[in-house]
Structure 1
Amino acid sequence: MALSQGEIKTTQKHLPEKEFILLCALMMSLTALSTDAVLPAFSQIAHALGIIDYQKTQWIISAMIFGMAFGEITFGPLSDVIGRKKSISLGIGIFIIGSVVALWATSLTGLLIGRCIQGFGLAGPKIASRALIRDLYKGTAMARIMSYTMMIIILVPMLAPAFGQLVMLLGNWRWVFGVLIFQALIAVIWLAIRQPETLPPAMRHPFQWARLRKDARFFLSQREVMAYTCIAGGIFGCLMLYLSIAQSIFQDIYQAGTRFPLYFALLAAGSVLTNFFNGKIVQRVGMMRCLVAALSVLLFSSFLLLMIALSYSGKPPFILFMGIAILMFSCFGMIFGNVNAMAMEPLGHMAGLGASMISSISSLVAIVFSVFMGQFYHFTVIPLAAGFTLSASIALVLLVFAKYDVKYVFQGFFK
Structure 2
Amino acid sequence: MVPARYLAAYSTNHPILQGAIVTAPIRPDTVTATAAERPGFREFVGIVALMMAVTAISIDNLLPAFPIIGEQFSIADPNRLQLLIYIYMLGFGAGQILYGPLSDSLGRRTTLLASLAIYLGATVIAMFSPSFGWLLAARFAQGIGAAGGRVLSLAIVRDRYAGRAMARVMSLTMMVFLIVPMLAPAAGQGMLLFGSWIWVFVSMLVLGGVLAVWFSVRMPETLHPDRRRPLSLGAMAGALRLTVTTRATIGYGTALGLMVGCIMGYVGSAQQLFDSGLYHLGGWFPLAFAVVAGAMGASTLVNSRLVERLGMRWLSHVGLIAFLAVALVQVVIGLAWHGQPPLWLFLAVLCLNQFLISFTMPNFQALAMQPMGEVAGTASSFLGFYTTLLGAAFGAMIGQSFDGSVIPVAAGYAGLSALALLVVFWTERGRLFRAGGTG
Q: TM-score under structure 1 normalisation? A: 0.89
Measured after TM superposition, the shift of residue 134 of structure 1 is 5.3
Measured after TM superposition, the shift of residue 194 of structure 1 is 4.9
* 2:343 aligned residue (305, 315, 318): 318
Distance 1:176 1:270 in 2: 25
Matched, 1:360 2:379: no
Go from structure 1 to structure 2 and tell me whether the alpha carbon gap of 1:139 and 1:301 turns closer, same or farther (over 3 Å shift). Answer: closer
Q: Which runs of 4+ in 1 moved over 6 A?
A: 8-12, 136-145, 200-203
CA offsets, 1:169-218, max 9 Å, x none? 12321111122112222322343445444558786432121121122123
- Which stretch shifts more, 394-403 or 258-267? 394-403
Q: Gaps (5+ residues) in structure 2? A: 7-23
Partner of 2:84: 60
Distance 1:210 1:372 in 2: 36
CA offsets, 1:86-135, max 9 Å, x none? 21211011111211222222332211111111111112233234444555
CA contact (8 A) 2:175 2:301 kept: no
Within 5 Å, give how 1:29-44 maps onto structure 2. 29-44=53-68
Matched, 1:79 2:103: yes
- Which stretch shifts more, 308-317 or 114-123? 308-317
Tell me how many residue pairs correspond in the alignment. 409
CA contact (8 A) 1:14 1:195 kept: no
- Which stretch shifts more, 27-36 or 186-195? 186-195
Partner of 1:170: 194
Measured after TM superposition, the shift of residue 166 of structure 1 is 0.6
Within 5 Å, give how 1:52-201 maps onto structure 2. 52-132=76-156, 149-199=173-223
Partner of 1:337: 362
Measured after TM superposition, the shift of residue 140 of structure 1 is 8.9
- SS, match of residue 207 in structure 2: helix
Measured after TM superposition, the shift of residue 410 of structure 1 is 6.3
Distance 2:222 2:369 in 1: 23
CA contact (8 A) 1:13 1:196 kept: no
Higher helix share: 1
Measured after TM superposition, the shift of residue 323 of structure 1 is 1.1
Distance 1:6 1:58 in 2: 46
Measured after TM superposition, the shift of residue 311 of structure 1 is 2.3
Go from structure 1 to structure 2 and tell me whether the alpha carbon gap of 1:228 and 1:298 turns closer, same or farther (over 3 Å shift). Answer: same
Distance 2:252 2:121 in 1: 34
CA offsets, 1:306-336, max 9 Å, x none? 1221222211111110111111111121010
Distance 2:176 2:67 in 1: 29
Go from structure 1 to structure 2 and tell me whether the alpha carbon gap of 1:206 and 1:6 turns closer, same or farther (over 3 Å shift). Answer: same
* 1:387 aligned residue (412, 416, 419): 412
Matched, 1:293 2:313: no
- SS, match of residue 40 in structure 1: helix
Measured after TM superposition, the shift of residue 74 of structure 1 is 0.8
Read off the aligned partner of 2:339 and give its amino acid letter: G
Partner of 1:371: 396
Q: How large is the RMSD of aligned CA atoms in angstroms?
A: 2.9
CA contact (8 A) 1:7 1:137 kept: no
CA offsets, 1:391-413, max 9 Å, x none? 111111112222332xx22679x
Distance 1:299 1:137 in 2: 31
Distance 2:372 2:119 in 1: 30
Q: TM-score under structure 2 normalisation? A: 0.84
Partner of 1:207: 231
CA offsets, 1:357-413, max 9 Å, x none? 1111011111111112222111111100010010111111112222332xx22679x
CA contact (8 A) 1:87 1:125 kept: no
Read off the aligned partner of 2:65 and give its amino acid letter: A
Distance 2:227 2:168 in 1: 25
Read off the aligned partner of 1:397 and give its amino acid letter: L
Partner of 1:265: 290
Within 5 Å, give how 1:199-238 maps onto structure 2. 199=223, 204-238=228-262
CA contact (8 A) 2:320 2:360 kept: yes
Distance 1:56 1:136 in 2: 42
Distance 2:214 2:191 in 1: 24
